[in-house]
Amino acid sequence: MKTTRRSVLKAIGGISLGGFLSTMGFGRTGSESFGYSQTENETDVLVVGGGPAGIIAAIQAARAGAKTYLLERGSQLGGNTTTGGVSFPGLFDAWGKQIIAGIGWELVKDVVTLDGGNLPDFSKVPDSHWMNQVHVNQFLYVLLAEEKCQQAGVQIAYHEFPQAITKTDEGWLVDCYGFGTRRRVKCKQIIDCTGGAVVVGLLGFQRLREEETQPGSMLFKLDKANNPGRPNGPGAGLLDAIYVHGADSSNSRTVTATNLTGRKSILEKVRKENRRLMHMQPEAGFRESYRILGETIITQEDYTSGRVFKDSISNAFYPVDLHTKDGVKPKPLQPGTVPTVPLSALVPKGSSNIIVAGRCVSSDRLANSGLRVQASCMAMGQAAGAAAALAVKLNITPMKVPLTNIQELLIANKAIVPKTS
């Protein structure tokens, strides 16, 4: 039998990268210049950031028929859920019923099911809010997120980030860099899901940020010295966390400084306590950086009163949960209260053809300390993906898309939408 490269790869259980490379815009479509592999792409929607908000935004936009690219600076999807190790997304329920569903819930439910785990019973109101967070296997989560993106037709570009953006008559020209790669993307709509509104900052729109921000946390697991055992459970089960004050996800330097500080603290702990390091996430988890100044700012009062705005498109639920140097004292919401997010809080003030989703939602700091949790970010992501896809179809900016069109598309994709009238 003739031995080909493909048959060798098959025999050793490997896979060929050829197909991936050509669909990702490398290979034949790229050209070499100054040592960079260059490529140009045209797309309807460009999602930047592949965390809880970005994954769901991209899948929703693609399922609605928009050609969609997803840029992620890291090497996997999931953001804080996977790379940061916060593998317990919440909260999908409030006061005995499910209030967030849709594509985010589909992903979480499928991960738990494939992993043989149990889902919380949302008909029961737990004694403490965190009890109904859903524990997911962070490794499986990455695999299913990738699979669902690819099945929807989303093109994923890892290790890439936008470096310069120019406005055009049809939308945007976005110059992106990776290591050894350059990509110029012509797109109609951008969804900024970077956590810290990096794209909004690049475009020069106003962002909000206080002098003090919440600490990040580096997640890890220690065990007894000389204990030969393995950490409990796939995805490492429950991890310990150490605060990294001043943690900032804004750029490569601030992320580097955060990771170095977090790891140094863990090393000190290992030495001081004479324990064995069993597990450590590759990056710190980030709670807070920039938020956008949107067409609407969600205030603490809006959040804690469960205000329904005339353009509310998703629900949220979590206590006001501000971490400081003294720790955290969550302030639970009053029984029956379910906060909501209006479309106008996802749109940078004075902008067109760009929308955000996730923890950078336009909100004051205390409202943001509750809004930032993963289920709420997923629901915002689905709403932003729907609004962007419809904006492409109607050739208008997301704020001008009739609310009923967005609501109908979201409901068709199993999202739970607040009643606005």
Ligand X SMILES: Cc1cc2nc3c(=O)[nH]c(=O)nc-3n(C[C@H](O)[C@H](O)[C@H](O)COP(=O)(O)OP(=O)(O)OC[C@H]3O[C@@H](n4cnc5c(N)ncnc54)[C@H](O)[C@@H]3O)c2cc1C
Is 52 or 342 the residue whose CB approaches ligand X more closely? Answer: 52
Is 126 or 396 the residue whose CB approaches ligand X more closely? Answer: 126
Is 65 or 212 the residue whose CB approaches ligand X more closely? Answer: 212
Binding site for ligand X (CB under 6 A): 48-54, 71-74, 79-81, 84, 86, 88-90, 133, 161, 193-195, 198, 216-217, 241, 285-287, 358-359, 372-374, 377
Instruction: Give the shortest CB-49-to-ligand X separation in angstroms.
Output: 3
Report the C-alpha gap between 74 and 77 in whole angstroms.
8
Instruction: Give the shortest CB-363-to-ligand X separation in angstroms.
Output: 12
3-state secondary structure string across the chain: CCCCHHHHHHHCCCCCCHHHHHHCCCHHHCEEECCEEEEEEEEEEEEECCCHHHHHHHHHHHHCCCCEEEEECCCCCCHHHCCCCCCCCCCCEECCEECCCHHHHHHHHHHHHHCCCCCCCCCCCCCCHHHHCCCCCHHHHHHHHHHHHHHHCCEEEECCEEEEEEECCCCEEEEEEECCEEEEEEEEEEEECCCCCHHHHHCCCCEECCCCCCCEEEEEEEEECCCCCCCCCHHHCCCEEEEECCCCCCCHHHHHHHHHHHHHHHHHHHHHHCEEEEEECCCCECCCCCEECECCCECHHHHHHCCCCCCEEEECCCCECCEECCEECCECCCCCCCCEEEHHHCCECCCCCEEECCCCCCECHHHHHHHCCHHHHHHHHHHHHHHHHHHHHHCCCHHHCCHHHHHHHHHHCCCCCCCCC
Instruction: Give the shortest CB-69-to-ligand X separation in angstroms.
Output: 11
Instruction: Give the shortest CB-38-to-ligand X separation in angstroms.
Output: 18
Instruction: Give the shortest CB-250-to-ligand X separation in angstroms.
Output: 8
Is 171 or 195 the residue whose CB approaches ligand X more closely? Answer: 195
Is 316 or 389 the residue whose CB approaches ligand X more closely? Answer: 316
Is 32 or 326 the residue whose CB approaches ligand X more closely? Answer: 326
Instruction: Give the shortest CB-295-to-ligand X separation in angstroms.
Output: 19
Instruction: Give the shortest CB-402-to-ligand X separation in angstroms.
Output: 26
Instruction: Give the shortest CB-219-to-ligand X separation in angstroms.
Output: 7
Is 300 or 420 the residue whose CB approaches ligand X more closely? Answer: 300
Q: Which residues pair with 37 in a beta bridge?
A: 32, 181
Instruction: Give the shortest CB-105-to-ligand X separation in angstroms.
Output: 13
Q: Using the structure block, give the residue that is written with the tokens 């009062």.
A: 301
Q: Using the structure block, give the residue that is written with the tokens 């205030």.
A: 299
Is 86 or 111 the residue whose CB approaches ligand X more closely? Answer: 86
Is 74 or 342 the residue whose CB approaches ligand X more closely? Answer: 74
